[in-house]
A = this chain, B = another copy of it.
Amino acid sequence: MDTQKALDDLRTCLGQRLSLSKSDLDLHGQSESHFPLSPPDAVAYPETTDEVAHIMAVCARHRVPVVGWGTGTSLEGQSQAFSGGVVVDFSRMNRVLDVAQADMVARVQPGVTREALNEELRATGLFFPVDPGANAALGGMAATRASGTTAVRYGTMRDNVQALEVVTAAGEVIRTGTAARKSSSGYDLTALFVGSEGTLGLITELTLRLHGQPEAISAAVCAFDSVGDAVATVIDTIQCGVPMARIELVDEDSVRAVNAYSGMDLTETPHLLLEFHGSDTGVREQAEVFGAIAADHGGRGFDWATMPEARTALWTMRHNAYYAILASRPGARAIVTDICVPISRLAEAIEETRADLARAGVAGPILGHVGDGNFHAVLMVDMEDEAEIARAKSASDRMVERALAMGGTATGEHGIGVGKLGYMAQEHGGGWAMMGAIKAALDPDNILNPGKLVPPRT
């Protein structure tokens, strides 16, 4: 590795768009969760695919690590340069290149955020549905295989990325997928890059699937006596084929936190937060079916509203829930958990987690994308208190053990990075070695986001 020579070469091409300032390096060494500061050697701000290819070729020549950066909102340390090297910040590649209305796709650069794309789409009658909460960059969302509140209806990034342009470890530009909606032509490289966390290449362009803005939207909240009743309601609703756009669970601890933070006055019991999309008739029908099922399971206070203001308040509250929970204990940092289990085991997984956290004395309000079987306990820790950190990490370990024992996964949507690396062998067995073989074939010098996702190079 010859970092200085690489930086000299990059300076020639990028000029002031190669930053070595301490504040910039520190900014790109931060994480939204509990990982330590890890400033890279430099931050590059490319404006074109050719510049990204040049950066990769230079770094490949000098064996310098390259780490992609969207908005820095990943939660498992994916965008941190723990081995040093160059962080490629895509914030200047933030153009919507094309919106093909008849084909219902948009071509975007990786630095476009999901909110910026939807702003641009507003007048077209189309929208991009994947919503992880944070206003993340779409390149990062693809690299993380992000999802969020709407996945139950519209799928994850896996389902909504149709094609990619990628710069390989050698600095070559390739295209995966086509402008057609489906293809049986060869290995699904698009799916391979979605969720690869920058370890196989840098995404420089995305073709994303758009959906028609629904004619009608309604939102609702519903209180339950127990998590079990709420989850049983979700299972029955899905089985009845009600195409809910969002169905979120907040447990009583989360309700308490959001009441305080967002000035709500929900009763302090588990709640489902819901959204229905469809025609006027369809939305009414969906809400009625849901209401009847919820009543069967003791749901209370179910009421649905089509007023945009009420909806916005509800989802703003849900999106701020992570910050609301952190604010409930000033100064705390979060160890964020993200397990996903078969929905038939979800109530059990949540109840066991709550009991375990109570026993361990760890504060961890729970919220979840229950239609997918995915939930988060936000474990709050004082970063000065090593004993507390150890208790929280050990509770997080047990959550993953529980998820794997139920046939689930260590991460529904946050990815691996370094935070979940320790579970890969157990979750994937021989499949993890296969991932390592693919990584070695496509990035033989291990310069693309080294130390993340795959087994350590031996």
Q: Is the CB of B430 within 8 A of A173?
A: yes
Residue numbers in B under 8 Å from A178 (CB-CB): 340, 407-409, 427
Q: Is the CB of B453 within 8 A of A186?
A: yes
Q: Is the CB of A144 within 8 A of B416?
A: no
**Could you list some 23 contacts between A and B, CB below 8 A?**
A101-B239, A102-B239, A103-B343, A125-B239, A158-B191, A174-B429, A182-B340, A182-B374, A183-B340, A184-B338, A185-B420, A185-B424, A186-B431, A186-B435, A186-B454, A191-B191, A191-B192, A214-B241, A241-B279, A282-B282, A434-B442, A437-B441, A438-B442
Give residues of chain A (229-245) contacting chain B, Cβ–Cβ below 8 Å. 235, 238-241
A429 is contacted by which of B175, B406, B416, B420 (Cβ under 8 Å)? B175
Q: Is the CB of B182 within 8 A of A412?
A: yes
Instruction: Give the distance in Å from the alpha carbon of A101 to the alpha carbon of B240 in the complex.
Output: 12
Residue numbers in B under 8 Å from A188 (CB-CB): 145, 158, 188, 191-192, 194-195
A189 at the interface (CB under 8 A from B): yes
A430 is contacted by which of B172, B211, B372, B407 (Cβ under 8 Å)? B172
Q: How large is the interface on A (under 10, 10 to 19, 20 to 34, 35 or more residues)?
A: 35 or more
Q: How many copies does the complex hold?
A: 2
A50 at the interface (CB under 8 A from B): no
A12 at the interface (CB under 8 A from B): no
A415 at the interface (CB under 8 A from B): yes
Closest residue of chain B to A194 (Cβ to Cβ) is B188
Residue numbers in B under 8 Å from A174 (CB-CB): 428-431, 434
Closest residue of chain B to A277 (Cβ to Cβ) is B241
Closest residue of chain B to A126 (Cβ to Cβ) is B239
A295 at the interface (CB under 8 A from B): no
A179 at the interface (CB under 8 A from B): yes
* Most B CB within 10 A of own CB, among A196, A430, A453: A430
Q: Is the CB of B238 within 8 A of A176?
A: no
Shortest distance between the CB of A149 and any CB in chain B (Å): 13
Give residues of chain A (157-203) contacting chain B, Cβ–Cβ below 8 Å. 158-159, 168, 172-176, 178-189, 191-192, 194-196, 200
Q: Is the CB of B430 within 8 A of A189?
A: no
Residue numbers in B under 8 Å from A8 (CB-CB): none
The 6 A-B pairs with the shortest beta carbon distances in the complex, nearest first, are: A179-B407, A191-B191, A441-B441, A183-B409, A102-B344, A174-B430
Residue numbers in B under 8 Å from A172 (CB-CB): 430
Closest residue of chain B to A371 (Cβ to Cβ) is B181
Q: Is the CB of B408 within 8 A of A179?
A: yes
Asked, given contacts A342-B103, A409-B180, A413-B182, whether A189 binds B431 with beta carbons under 8 Å apart, the answer is yes
A261 at the interface (CB under 8 A from B): no
A187 is contacted by which of B101, B186, B192 (Cβ under 8 Å)? B192
Instruction: Give the distance in Å from the alpha carbon of A453 to the alpha carbon of B188 in the complex.
Output: 12
Q: Is the CB of B434 within 8 A of A180?
A: no
Give residues of chain A (402-458) contacting chain B, Cβ–Cβ below 8 Å. 403, 406-416, 420, 423-424, 427-432, 434-435, 437-438, 440-442, 453-454
Supply 19 further A-B pairs (C-beta < 8 A) apart from A102-B239, A185-B415, A187-B453.
Answer: A103-B343, A158-B191, A168-B434, A178-B409, A179-B407, A180-B372, A180-B412, A182-B373, A182-B413, A183-B340, A183-B412, A184-B195, A185-B423, A186-B428, A187-B435, A188-B188, A188-B192, A281-B285, A434-B442
Q: Is the CB of B180 within 8 A of A187?
A: no
Residue numbers in B under 8 Å from A79 (CB-CB): none
Q: Is the CB of B424 within 8 A of A182?
A: no
A176 is contacted by which of B156, B192, B196, B431 (Cβ under 8 Å)? B431
Shortest distance between the CB of A369 and any CB in chain B (Å): 9
Closest residue of chain B to A406 (Cβ to Cβ) is B179
Q: Is the CB of A102 within 8 A of B187?
A: no
Q: Is the CB of A409 within 8 A of B185?
A: yes
Instruction: Give the distance in Å from the alpha carbon of A175 to the alpha carbon of B424 in the complex.
Output: 13
Q: Is the CB of A186 within 8 A of B424?
A: yes
Q: Is the CB of A102 within 8 A of B343?
A: yes
Q: Is the CB of A182 within 8 A of B102?
A: no
Instruction: Give the distance in Å from the alpha carbon of A373 to the alpha carbon of B100 in the complex.
Output: 14
A27 at the interface (CB under 8 A from B): no
Residue numbers in B under 8 Å from A428 (CB-CB): 174-176, 185-186, 189
